[in-house]
Structure 1
Protein backbone atom coordinates (compact mmCIF):
# COMPACT_ATOMS: atom_id res chain seq x y z
CA UNK A 1 0.00 0.00 0.00
CA UNK A 2 1.51 3.31 -1.10
CA UNK A 3 1.02 6.26 1.22
CA UNK A 4 -0.22 9.50 -0.38
CA UNK A 5 2.29 12.32 -0.73
CA UNK A 6 -0.24 14.36 1.22
CA UNK A 7 -3.89 14.33 2.18
CA UNK A 8 -5.72 17.65 2.23
CA UNK A 9 -4.98 20.98 0.60
CA UNK A 10 -1.91 21.54 -1.51
CA UNK A 11 -1.42 25.14 -2.59
CA UNK A 12 -0.33 25.75 -6.17
CA UNK A 13 1.62 28.78 -5.02
CA UNK A 14 2.09 31.82 -7.23
CA UNK A 15 5.56 33.08 -8.14
CA UNK A 16 6.01 36.72 -7.07
CA UNK A 17 8.07 38.75 -9.51
CA UNK A 18 9.99 42.00 -9.52
CA UNK A 19 11.22 43.66 -12.70
CA UNK A 20 14.47 41.77 -12.24
CA UNK A 21 13.28 38.25 -11.45
CA UNK A 22 11.69 36.27 -8.65
CA UNK A 23 10.94 38.15 -5.44
CA UNK A 24 12.36 35.60 -3.00
CA UNK A 25 11.67 37.73 0.06
CA UNK A 26 7.98 37.78 -0.85
CA UNK A 27 8.01 34.07 -1.72
CA UNK A 28 9.34 33.27 1.74
CA UNK A 29 6.57 35.39 3.27
CA UNK A 30 3.94 33.50 1.26
CA UNK A 31 5.40 30.13 2.22
CA UNK A 32 5.28 31.01 5.93
CA UNK A 33 1.69 32.26 5.54
CA UNK A 34 0.64 28.98 3.95
CA UNK A 35 2.23 26.83 6.64
CA UNK A 36 0.79 28.97 9.43
CA UNK A 37 -2.72 28.68 7.94
CA UNK A 38 -2.66 24.88 7.79
CA UNK A 39 -1.84 24.10 4.17
CA UNK A 40 -0.89 20.44 3.84
CA UNK A 41 1.55 20.63 0.90
CA UNK A 42 3.24 23.25 -1.24
CA UNK A 43 3.42 22.97 -5.02
CA UNK A 44 6.12 25.20 -6.49
CA UNK A 45 6.50 26.05 -10.19
CA UNK A 46 3.13 24.78 -11.33
CA UNK A 47 0.78 26.46 -13.80
CA UNK A 48 -0.25 28.98 -11.13
CA UNK A 49 3.44 29.62 -10.52
CA UNK A 50 3.86 30.60 -14.19
CA UNK A 51 6.42 27.86 -14.75
CA UNK A 52 6.08 28.24 -18.52
CA UNK A 53 7.75 31.68 -18.28
CA UNK A 54 10.55 30.59 -15.94
CA UNK A 55 13.92 29.97 -17.59
CA UNK A 56 15.70 26.97 -16.11
CA UNK A 57 17.89 29.00 -13.75
CA UNK A 58 14.83 30.65 -12.18
CA UNK A 59 12.84 27.42 -12.20
CA UNK A 60 15.59 25.58 -10.35
CA UNK A 61 16.23 28.39 -7.91
CA UNK A 62 12.52 28.58 -7.00
CA UNK A 63 12.39 24.83 -6.31
CA UNK A 64 15.52 24.87 -4.16
CA UNK A 65 14.37 27.96 -2.28
CA UNK A 66 11.00 26.40 -1.46
CA UNK A 67 12.58 23.13 -0.33
CA UNK A 68 15.07 24.96 1.90
CA UNK A 69 12.54 27.34 3.43
CA UNK A 70 9.85 24.71 4.08
CA UNK A 71 12.54 22.49 5.62
CA UNK A 72 10.36 19.35 5.75
CA UNK A 73 7.51 21.00 7.67
CA UNK A 74 5.13 20.00 4.86
CA UNK A 75 5.78 18.18 1.57
CA UNK A 76 7.18 20.27 -1.29
CA UNK A 77 6.05 19.12 -4.72
CA UNK A 78 8.01 20.55 -7.64
CA UNK A 79 6.40 21.22 -10.99
CA UNK A 80 8.85 19.78 -13.50
CA UNK A 81 6.64 19.02 -16.49
CA UNK A 82 7.52 19.81 -20.07
CA UNK A 83 6.43 18.92 -23.59
CA UNK A 84 10.03 17.84 -24.14
CA UNK A 85 10.64 14.55 -22.32
CA UNK A 86 14.39 15.11 -22.02
CA UNK A 87 13.82 18.55 -20.50
CA UNK A 88 11.25 17.15 -18.07
CA UNK A 89 13.76 14.51 -16.95
CA UNK A 90 16.40 17.20 -16.42
CA UNK A 91 14.14 19.31 -14.20
CA UNK A 92 12.83 16.23 -12.38
CA UNK A 93 16.31 14.97 -11.56
CA UNK A 94 17.25 18.41 -10.30
CA UNK A 95 14.17 18.63 -8.06
CA UNK A 96 15.01 15.26 -6.50
CA UNK A 97 18.65 16.28 -6.01
CA UNK A 98 17.72 19.34 -3.92
CA UNK A 99 15.23 17.48 -1.74
CA UNK A 100 11.77 17.88 -3.28
CA UNK A 101 9.35 15.37 -1.77
CA UNK A 102 7.59 14.66 -5.07
CA UNK A 103 7.24 16.07 -8.55
CA UNK A 104 4.20 17.13 -10.57
CA UNK A 105 4.38 16.41 -14.29
CA UNK A 106 1.88 17.82 -16.76
CA UNK A 107 0.87 16.15 -20.02
CA UNK A 108 2.81 17.36 -23.08
CA UNK A 109 1.17 20.42 -24.60
CA UNK A 110 1.19 21.83 -28.15
CA UNK A 111 3.11 18.95 -29.74
CA UNK A 112 0.88 16.58 -27.67
CA UNK A 113 1.17 12.84 -28.31
CA UNK A 114 -0.79 9.57 -28.38
CA UNK A 115 -1.78 7.52 -25.33
CA UNK A 116 1.23 5.30 -26.03
CA UNK A 117 3.39 8.41 -26.15
CA UNK A 118 2.00 9.56 -22.81
CA UNK A 119 2.88 6.23 -21.26
CA UNK A 120 6.45 6.34 -22.59
CA UNK A 121 6.88 10.01 -21.63
CA UNK A 122 5.85 9.53 -18.00
CA UNK A 123 7.59 6.17 -17.70
CA UNK A 124 10.94 7.70 -18.66
CA UNK A 125 10.42 10.59 -16.23
CA UNK A 126 9.46 8.26 -13.37
CA UNK A 127 12.37 5.92 -14.04
CA UNK A 128 14.83 8.83 -13.80
CA UNK A 129 14.11 9.37 -10.08
CA UNK A 130 12.97 7.61 -6.93
CA UNK A 131 10.66 10.30 -5.52
CA UNK A 132 6.90 10.02 -6.11
CA UNK A 133 5.57 11.32 -9.41
CA UNK A 134 2.15 12.98 -9.58
CA UNK A 135 0.62 13.09 -13.06
CA UNK A 136 -1.19 16.29 -14.04
CA UNK A 137 -4.16 15.99 -16.38
CA UNK A 138 -5.54 19.37 -17.45
CA UNK A 139 -7.12 19.02 -20.91
CA UNK A 140 -8.41 22.62 -20.93
CA UNK A 141 -4.80 23.83 -21.09
CA UNK A 142 -3.09 21.04 -23.00
CA UNK A 143 -5.89 19.83 -25.30
CA UNK A 144 -4.79 16.32 -24.35
CA UNK A 145 -6.47 13.90 -21.96
CA UNK A 146 -4.83 11.01 -20.12
CA UNK A 147 -7.35 8.22 -20.60
CA UNK A 148 -8.21 6.15 -17.50
CA UNK A 149 -6.67 3.00 -19.00
CA UNK A 150 -3.42 4.91 -19.52
CA UNK A 151 -3.54 6.14 -15.92
CA UNK A 152 -4.01 2.52 -14.86
CA UNK A 153 -0.94 1.40 -16.81
CA UNK A 154 1.12 4.26 -15.41
CA UNK A 155 -0.04 3.54 -11.86
CA UNK A 156 1.70 0.17 -12.09
CA UNK A 157 5.05 2.00 -12.23
CA UNK A 158 6.22 2.00 -8.61
CA UNK A 159 6.77 5.70 -8.05
CA UNK A 160 3.86 7.05 -10.12
CA UNK A 161 1.60 7.35 -7.13
CA UNK A 162 -1.02 10.00 -7.90
CA UNK A 163 -2.76 12.25 -10.39
CA UNK A 164 -3.96 15.83 -10.26
CA UNK A 165 -7.15 15.39 -12.25
CA UNK A 166 -9.15 18.19 -13.86
CA UNK A 167 -11.56 15.90 -15.71
CA UNK A 168 -14.11 14.97 -13.03
CA UNK A 169 -16.01 12.77 -15.49
CA UNK A 170 -13.28 10.12 -15.34
CA UNK A 171 -12.32 10.29 -11.66
CA UNK A 172 -14.56 7.40 -10.66
CA UNK A 173 -13.21 5.18 -13.42
CA UNK A 174 -9.61 6.02 -12.46
CA UNK A 175 -10.27 5.12 -8.82
CA UNK A 176 -12.02 1.88 -9.84
CA UNK A 177 -9.09 0.92 -12.07
CA UNK A 178 -6.21 2.02 -9.88
CA UNK A 179 -7.48 1.31 -6.39
CA UNK A 180 -7.14 3.19 -3.14
CA UNK A 181 -3.33 3.13 -3.07
CA UNK A 182 -3.27 5.51 -6.06
CA UNK A 183 -4.10 9.05 -4.94
CA UNK A 184 -6.37 11.38 -6.92
CA UNK A 185 -6.27 15.12 -6.24
CA UNK A 186 -8.74 17.65 -7.57
CA UNK A 187 -7.40 20.20 -10.02
CA UNK A 188 -10.65 22.19 -9.89
CA UNK A 189 -11.43 24.33 -6.86
CA UNK A 190 -15.17 24.21 -7.55
CA UNK A 191 -15.26 20.39 -7.58
CA UNK A 192 -13.25 19.39 -4.52
CA UNK A 193 -16.14 17.89 -2.56
CA UNK A 194 -17.47 15.78 -5.46
CA UNK A 195 -13.99 14.38 -6.04
CA UNK A 196 -13.55 13.60 -2.33
CA UNK A 197 -16.90 11.82 -2.37
CA UNK A 198 -15.57 9.53 -5.11
CA UNK A 199 -12.49 8.67 -3.04
CA UNK A 200 -10.06 11.50 -3.76
CA UNK A 201 -7.34 12.50 -1.30
CA UNK A 202 -7.47 16.29 -1.62
CA UNK A 203 -6.88 19.25 -3.90
CA UNK A 204 -4.01 21.08 -5.56
CA UNK A 205 -5.52 24.50 -5.31
CA UNK A 206 -5.37 28.01 -6.73
CA UNK A 207 -7.81 29.49 -4.20
CA UNK A 208 -5.59 28.30 -1.34
CA UNK A 209 -3.28 31.20 -2.18
CA UNK A 210 -5.82 33.51 -0.51
CA UNK A 211 -7.99 31.19 1.61
CA UNK A 212 -5.59 28.49 2.79
CA UNK A 213 -7.47 27.72 6.00
CA UNK A 214 -10.85 27.37 4.29
CA UNK A 215 -9.31 25.13 1.63
CA UNK A 216 -7.65 22.96 4.26
CA UNK A 217 -10.87 22.80 6.27
CA UNK A 218 -12.92 21.83 3.20
CA UNK A 219 -10.91 18.62 2.91
CA UNK A 220 -10.22 18.01 6.61
CA UNK A 221 -13.88 18.18 7.62
CA UNK A 222 -14.83 15.73 4.88
CA UNK A 223 -12.06 13.33 5.88
CA UNK A 224 -13.17 13.49 9.51
CA UNK A 225 -16.73 12.58 8.54
CA UNK A 226 -18.25 16.06 8.92
CA UNK A 227 -19.63 16.15 5.40
CA UNK A 228 -22.21 18.83 6.22
CA UNK A 229 -19.49 21.33 7.14
CA UNK A 230 -17.40 20.38 4.12
CA UNK A 231 -20.43 20.92 1.89
CA UNK A 232 -21.10 24.29 3.51
CA UNK A 233 -17.53 25.41 2.82
CA UNK A 234 -17.61 24.20 -0.80
CA UNK A 235 -20.88 25.99 -1.52
CA UNK A 236 -19.74 29.20 0.15
CA UNK A 237 -16.61 29.51 -1.95
CA UNK A 238 -18.20 28.85 -5.36
CA UNK A 239 -18.72 32.53 -6.16
CA UNK A 240 -15.12 33.27 -5.17
CA UNK A 241 -13.81 30.47 -7.37
CA UNK A 242 -15.84 31.78 -10.29
CA UNK A 243 -14.23 35.20 -9.86
CA UNK A 244 -10.75 33.70 -9.58
CA UNK A 245 -11.18 32.07 -12.99
CA UNK A 246 -13.03 34.86 -14.80
CA UNK A 247 -9.84 35.33 -16.80
CA UNK A 248 -6.94 32.97 -17.47
CA UNK A 249 -5.34 31.86 -14.20
CA UNK A 250 -3.15 33.08 -12.52
CA UNK A 251 -4.16 36.57 -13.64
CA UNK A 252 -7.11 36.88 -11.21
CA UNK A 253 -5.43 35.20 -8.22
CA UNK A 254 -2.47 37.57 -8.41
CA UNK A 255 -4.86 40.52 -8.75
CA UNK A 256 -6.77 39.25 -5.71
CA UNK A 257 -3.60 38.93 -3.67
CA UNK A 258 -2.60 42.46 -4.58
CA UNK A 259 -6.06 43.74 -3.61
CA UNK A 260 -5.59 42.01 -0.27
CA UNK A 261 -2.31 43.87 0.29
CA UNK A 262 0.03 40.93 -0.38
CA UNK A 263 1.95 42.88 -3.07
CA UNK A 264 2.96 39.90 -5.20
CA UNK A 265 3.55 41.84 -8.41
CA UNK A 266 2.18 41.23 -11.89
CA UNK A 267 2.08 38.21 -14.14
CA UNK A 268 4.64 37.86 -16.89
CA UNK A 269 3.72 38.33 -20.52
CA UNK A 270 1.84 37.01 -22.39
CA UNK A 271 -0.42 37.30 -19.31
CA UNK A 272 -1.69 40.84 -18.82
CA UNK A 273 -3.73 42.85 -16.32
CA UNK A 274 -7.44 42.11 -15.93
CA UNK A 275 -10.03 44.06 -17.83
CA UNK A 276 -11.62 46.86 -15.82
CA UNK A 277 -14.98 45.07 -15.78
CA UNK A 278 -13.56 41.78 -14.51
CA UNK A 279 -11.32 43.51 -12.00
CA UNK A 280 -14.36 45.23 -10.49
CA UNK A 281 -16.20 41.89 -10.39
CA UNK A 282 -13.26 40.28 -8.61
CA UNK A 283 -13.02 43.16 -6.15
CA UNK A 284 -16.72 42.97 -5.32
CA UNK A 285 -16.52 39.20 -4.83
CA UNK A 286 -13.55 39.53 -2.46
CA UNK A 287 -15.53 42.06 -0.44
CA UNK A 288 -18.54 39.75 -0.28
CA UNK A 289 -16.32 36.92 0.99
CA UNK A 290 -14.80 39.23 3.62
CA UNK A 291 -11.27 39.22 2.26
CA UNK A 292 -11.00 42.97 1.71
Structure 2
Protein backbone atom coordinates (compact mmCIF):
# COMPACT_ATOMS: atom_id res chain seq x y z
CA UNK A 1 0.00 0.00 0.00
CA UNK A 2 1.33 3.44 -0.87
CA UNK A 3 2.27 5.83 1.90
CA UNK A 4 -0.37 8.33 2.92
CA UNK A 5 0.30 11.95 2.10
CA UNK A 6 -0.42 14.02 5.23
CA UNK A 7 -3.55 16.11 4.92
CA UNK A 8 -4.67 18.76 7.38
CA UNK A 9 -8.40 18.56 8.15
CA UNK A 10 -10.44 20.64 10.59
CA UNK A 11 -11.45 18.18 13.33
CA UNK A 12 -14.94 19.69 13.43
CA UNK A 13 -15.55 18.50 9.86
CA UNK A 14 -14.91 14.84 10.70
CA UNK A 15 -17.89 12.59 11.29
CA UNK A 16 -18.09 10.83 14.63
CA UNK A 17 -20.32 8.65 16.75
CA UNK A 18 -20.50 7.72 20.43
CA UNK A 19 -21.58 4.33 21.74
CA UNK A 20 -23.26 5.07 25.06
CA UNK A 21 -23.60 2.11 27.42
CA UNK A 22 -26.02 2.35 30.34
CA UNK A 23 -27.99 0.33 32.87
CA UNK A 24 -31.63 0.57 33.88
CA UNK A 25 -34.26 2.61 32.06
CA UNK A 26 -36.61 1.18 29.45
CA UNK A 27 -34.47 0.93 26.30
CA UNK A 28 -37.16 -0.87 24.30
CA UNK A 29 -39.51 2.09 24.78
CA UNK A 30 -37.06 4.97 24.27
CA UNK A 31 -38.05 7.43 21.54
CA UNK A 32 -35.11 7.68 19.14
CA UNK A 33 -34.07 10.59 16.98
CA UNK A 34 -33.82 9.76 13.25
CA UNK A 35 -30.90 7.43 12.56
CA UNK A 36 -30.22 6.58 16.20
CA UNK A 37 -30.07 2.89 17.15
CA UNK A 38 -30.67 1.05 20.41
CA UNK A 39 -28.62 -2.15 20.42
CA UNK A 40 -30.83 -4.24 22.68
CA UNK A 41 -28.46 -7.22 22.53
CA UNK A 42 -25.68 -5.13 24.11
CA UNK A 43 -26.50 -5.42 27.81
CA UNK A 44 -24.47 -4.24 30.78
CA UNK A 45 -24.43 -5.53 34.37
CA UNK A 46 -26.35 -3.94 37.22
CA UNK A 47 -25.13 -3.98 40.81
CA UNK A 48 -26.58 -7.46 41.38
CA UNK A 49 -24.91 -8.97 38.32
CA UNK A 50 -28.07 -9.14 36.20
CA UNK A 51 -28.07 -7.95 32.59
CA UNK A 52 -29.49 -4.45 32.31
CA UNK A 53 -29.76 -1.41 30.06
CA UNK A 54 -28.39 -1.38 26.55
CA UNK A 55 -26.11 0.55 24.19
CA UNK A 56 -27.29 3.68 22.38
CA UNK A 57 -25.68 4.65 19.07
CA UNK A 58 -26.14 7.71 16.82
CA UNK A 59 -25.81 7.94 13.05
CA UNK A 60 -22.59 9.63 11.85
CA UNK A 61 -22.63 13.12 13.36
CA UNK A 62 -20.76 16.35 12.69
CA UNK A 63 -19.67 18.54 15.58
CA UNK A 64 -22.49 20.93 14.74
CA UNK A 65 -24.95 18.04 15.31
CA UNK A 66 -23.73 17.37 18.86
CA UNK A 67 -26.92 18.72 20.47
CA UNK A 68 -28.56 15.45 19.41
CA UNK A 69 -26.47 13.74 22.08
CA UNK A 70 -27.90 16.02 24.76
CA UNK A 71 -31.45 15.30 23.60
CA UNK A 72 -30.95 11.54 23.78
CA UNK A 73 -29.19 11.73 27.16
CA UNK A 74 -32.11 13.72 28.56
CA UNK A 75 -34.52 11.06 27.31
CA UNK A 76 -32.44 8.27 28.82
CA UNK A 77 -32.18 9.99 32.19
CA UNK A 78 -35.92 10.73 32.21
CA UNK A 79 -36.48 6.97 31.96
CA UNK A 80 -34.30 6.30 34.98
CA UNK A 81 -31.25 5.08 33.07
CA UNK A 82 -27.93 5.25 34.91
CA UNK A 83 -24.25 4.52 34.43
CA UNK A 84 -22.07 2.26 36.54
CA UNK A 85 -18.70 0.48 36.53
CA UNK A 86 -19.81 -1.99 33.83
CA UNK A 87 -20.43 0.75 31.24
CA UNK A 88 -18.01 2.15 28.69
CA UNK A 89 -18.01 4.94 26.13
CA UNK A 90 -16.63 4.23 22.67
CA UNK A 91 -15.99 6.95 20.10
CA UNK A 92 -15.92 6.30 16.35
CA UNK A 93 -14.25 8.84 14.08
CA UNK A 94 -14.81 8.79 10.32
CA UNK A 95 -11.72 8.43 8.12
CA UNK A 96 -13.28 9.74 4.91
CA UNK A 97 -10.63 12.40 4.14
CA UNK A 98 -7.80 9.84 4.08
CA UNK A 99 -9.36 6.44 3.46
CA UNK A 100 -7.50 3.24 4.27
CA UNK A 101 -4.15 4.94 3.75
CA UNK A 102 -4.38 6.42 7.25
CA UNK A 103 -4.53 2.99 8.93
CA UNK A 104 -0.72 2.47 9.10
CA UNK A 105 -0.32 5.95 10.59
CA UNK A 106 -2.99 5.20 13.17
CA UNK A 107 -1.17 2.00 14.10
CA UNK A 108 2.10 3.90 14.46
CA UNK A 109 0.38 6.58 16.53
CA UNK A 110 -1.18 3.91 18.73
CA UNK A 111 2.22 2.33 19.40
CA UNK A 112 3.54 5.75 20.36
CA UNK A 113 0.76 7.17 22.52
CA UNK A 114 -2.00 4.64 23.26
CA UNK A 115 -0.96 4.49 26.91
CA UNK A 116 -1.05 8.28 27.09
CA UNK A 117 -4.61 8.27 25.74
CA UNK A 118 -5.59 5.60 28.26
CA UNK A 119 -4.05 7.69 31.04
CA UNK A 120 -5.79 10.87 29.86
CA UNK A 121 -9.12 9.04 29.83
CA UNK A 122 -8.33 7.34 33.17
CA UNK A 123 -9.43 3.92 31.94
CA UNK A 124 -10.62 1.76 34.82
CA UNK A 125 -8.26 -1.22 35.26
CA UNK A 126 -11.11 -3.73 34.99
CA UNK A 127 -12.09 -2.23 31.62
CA UNK A 128 -8.66 -2.84 30.09
CA UNK A 129 -9.98 -6.23 28.97
CA UNK A 130 -12.06 -4.39 26.38
CA UNK A 131 -9.25 -2.21 25.00
CA UNK A 132 -6.00 -4.19 24.64
CA UNK A 133 -3.03 -2.41 23.05
CA UNK A 134 -1.95 -2.37 19.44
CA UNK A 135 1.26 -4.42 19.23
CA UNK A 136 4.35 -4.15 17.01
CA UNK A 137 3.45 -7.58 15.61
CA UNK A 138 0.10 -6.19 14.50
CA UNK A 139 1.84 -3.35 12.67
CA UNK A 140 4.14 -5.83 10.95
CA UNK A 141 1.25 -8.08 9.95
CA UNK A 142 -0.62 -5.13 8.48
CA UNK A 143 2.42 -4.02 6.48
CA UNK A 144 2.56 -7.50 4.94
CA UNK A 145 -1.22 -7.90 4.53
CA UNK A 146 -3.29 -4.70 4.84
CA UNK A 147 -6.53 -6.36 5.90
CA UNK A 148 -8.81 -6.61 8.91
CA UNK A 149 -7.38 -9.90 10.15
CA UNK A 150 -3.98 -8.24 10.57
CA UNK A 151 -5.26 -5.71 13.11
CA UNK A 152 -7.46 -8.09 15.08
CA UNK A 153 -6.32 -8.81 18.61
CA UNK A 154 -6.18 -12.59 19.08
CA UNK A 155 -7.25 -13.88 22.45
CA UNK A 156 -10.55 -13.56 24.21
CA UNK A 157 -13.21 -12.24 21.80
CA UNK A 158 -14.22 -9.64 24.36
CA UNK A 159 -10.86 -8.07 23.60
CA UNK A 160 -10.42 -8.59 19.86
CA UNK A 161 -10.94 -4.85 19.32
CA UNK A 162 -7.92 -2.86 20.41
CA UNK A 163 -8.17 0.34 22.42
CA UNK A 164 -7.41 2.16 19.17
CA UNK A 165 -9.41 -0.12 16.93
CA UNK A 166 -8.45 0.25 13.28
CA UNK A 167 -10.37 -2.91 12.38
CA UNK A 168 -13.45 -0.66 12.39
CA UNK A 169 -12.24 0.76 9.07
CA UNK A 170 -13.07 -2.51 7.34
CA UNK A 171 -16.58 -2.50 8.79
CA UNK A 172 -17.82 1.10 8.87
CA UNK A 173 -14.82 3.16 7.68
CA UNK A 174 -13.98 4.56 11.10
CA UNK A 175 -11.40 4.17 13.82
CA UNK A 176 -12.88 3.30 17.21
CA UNK A 177 -11.28 4.62 20.41
CA UNK A 178 -12.43 2.48 23.33
CA UNK A 179 -10.57 3.77 26.40
CA UNK A 180 -13.21 6.02 27.97
CA UNK A 181 -15.20 4.98 31.03
CA UNK A 182 -18.97 5.11 30.83
CA UNK A 183 -20.88 8.37 31.21
CA UNK A 184 -24.31 9.90 30.79
CA UNK A 185 -22.93 13.39 31.33
CA UNK A 186 -23.12 15.56 28.22
CA UNK A 187 -19.97 17.58 28.93
CA UNK A 188 -17.88 14.49 29.71
CA UNK A 189 -19.03 12.78 26.54
CA UNK A 190 -18.29 15.85 24.41
CA UNK A 191 -14.85 16.24 25.98
CA UNK A 192 -14.09 12.61 25.12
CA UNK A 193 -15.37 12.96 21.56
CA UNK A 194 -13.34 16.13 21.01
CA UNK A 195 -10.15 14.46 22.23
CA UNK A 196 -10.71 11.57 19.80
CA UNK A 197 -11.53 13.87 16.89
CA UNK A 198 -8.47 16.01 17.50
CA UNK A 199 -6.27 12.92 17.84
CA UNK A 200 -7.39 11.51 14.49
CA UNK A 201 -7.02 14.90 12.79
CA UNK A 202 -3.47 15.20 14.17
CA UNK A 203 -2.58 11.73 12.87
CA UNK A 204 -4.03 12.61 9.48
CA UNK A 205 -1.97 15.77 9.42
CA UNK A 206 1.16 13.71 9.98
CA UNK A 207 2.05 15.16 13.38
CA UNK A 208 4.34 13.32 15.78
CA UNK A 209 2.50 12.88 19.06
CA UNK A 210 3.90 12.50 22.56
CA UNK A 211 3.84 9.41 24.74
CA UNK A 212 3.39 11.66 27.81
CA UNK A 213 -0.29 12.22 28.54
CA UNK A 214 0.06 15.84 29.68
CA UNK A 215 2.18 16.78 26.68
CA UNK A 216 -0.23 14.92 24.40
CA UNK A 217 -3.13 16.94 25.80
CA UNK A 218 -1.18 20.13 25.13
CA UNK A 219 -0.38 19.04 21.56
CA UNK A 220 -4.03 18.24 20.86
CA UNK A 221 -5.34 21.38 22.54
CA UNK A 222 -7.54 19.47 24.99
CA UNK A 223 -7.71 19.53 28.81
CA UNK A 224 -5.94 16.87 30.85
CA UNK A 225 -9.07 16.27 32.95
CA UNK A 226 -12.87 16.43 32.68
CA UNK A 227 -13.37 12.98 31.13
CA UNK A 228 -15.60 10.21 32.56
CA UNK A 229 -14.02 9.17 35.88
CA UNK A 230 -13.15 5.55 36.71
CA UNK A 231 -15.51 3.59 38.95
CA UNK A 232 -14.34 0.52 40.88
CA UNK A 233 -16.30 -2.70 40.33
CA UNK A 234 -17.92 -4.49 43.27
CA UNK A 235 -16.02 -7.23 45.05
CA UNK A 236 -18.23 -9.99 43.64
CA UNK A 237 -17.33 -8.92 40.10
CA UNK A 238 -13.62 -8.98 40.89
CA UNK A 239 -14.00 -12.47 42.33
CA UNK A 240 -15.95 -13.61 39.27
CA UNK A 241 -13.20 -12.23 37.05
CA UNK A 242 -10.47 -14.01 39.02
CA UNK A 243 -12.37 -17.30 38.75
CA UNK A 244 -12.93 -16.78 35.04
CA UNK A 245 -9.27 -16.01 34.35
CA UNK A 246 -8.25 -19.13 36.24
CA UNK A 247 -10.67 -21.30 34.26
CA UNK A 248 -9.92 -19.95 30.77
CA UNK A 249 -6.71 -21.99 30.25
CA UNK A 250 -8.48 -25.09 31.57
CA UNK A 251 -11.45 -24.75 29.21
CA UNK A 252 -9.76 -23.31 26.12
CA UNK A 253 -9.37 -26.69 24.40
CA UNK A 254 -12.98 -27.63 25.21
CA UNK A 255 -14.19 -24.36 23.68
CA UNK A 256 -12.18 -25.02 20.53
CA UNK A 257 -13.71 -28.50 20.24
CA UNK A 258 -17.26 -27.19 20.68
CA UNK A 259 -17.05 -24.28 18.24
CA UNK A 260 -14.78 -24.09 15.20
CA UNK A 261 -12.21 -21.31 15.74
CA UNK A 262 -14.10 -20.51 18.93
CA UNK A 263 -12.72 -18.43 21.76
CA UNK A 264 -14.06 -18.13 25.28
CA UNK A 265 -16.26 -15.08 25.73
CA UNK A 266 -17.19 -15.58 29.37
CA UNK A 267 -17.62 -18.22 32.05
CA UNK A 268 -20.25 -18.06 34.78
CA UNK A 269 -21.12 -20.41 37.65
CA UNK A 270 -24.63 -21.88 37.41
CA UNK A 271 -26.45 -24.36 39.69
CA UNK A 272 -25.49 -27.47 37.71
CA UNK A 273 -21.98 -26.53 36.64
CA UNK A 274 -20.43 -23.73 34.62
CA UNK A 275 -21.92 -21.75 31.75
CA UNK A 276 -19.29 -21.64 29.03
CA UNK A 277 -19.97 -18.98 26.37
CA UNK A 278 -17.91 -19.36 23.18
CA UNK A 279 -17.78 -16.87 20.31
CA UNK A 280 -16.89 -17.77 16.73
CA UNK A 281 -15.09 -15.60 14.16
CA UNK A 282 -18.40 -14.13 12.96
CA UNK A 283 -19.29 -12.94 16.45
CA UNK A 284 -21.98 -15.57 17.09
CA UNK A 285 -22.24 -16.66 20.70
CA UNK A 286 -22.77 -20.29 21.71
CA UNK A 287 -23.53 -21.24 25.32
CA UNK A 288 -22.94 -24.61 26.99
CA UNK A 289 -23.36 -25.98 30.50
CA UNK A 290 -20.27 -27.97 31.46
CA UNK A 291 -19.25 -29.85 34.58
CA UNK A 292 -15.74 -30.40 35.96
CA UNK A 293 -15.31 -34.09 36.86
CA UNK A 294 -12.03 -35.38 38.18
CA UNK A 295 -10.51 -36.19 34.78
CA UNK A 296 -12.37 -34.36 32.02
CA UNK A 297 -15.08 -31.72 31.72
CA UNK A 298 -18.48 -33.10 30.75
CA UNK A 299 -20.69 -31.13 28.37
CA UNK A 300 -24.29 -31.49 29.58
CA UNK A 301 -26.12 -29.54 26.88
CA UNK A 302 -26.05 -26.58 24.56
CA UNK A 303 -28.30 -23.62 25.36
CA UNK A 304 -30.22 -22.24 22.37
CA UNK A 305 -30.79 -18.52 21.97
The TM-score with structure 1 as length reference comes to 0.31
Larger Rg: 2
Question: Greater strand percent: which structure?
Answer: 2
The TM-score with structure 2 as length reference comes to 0.30
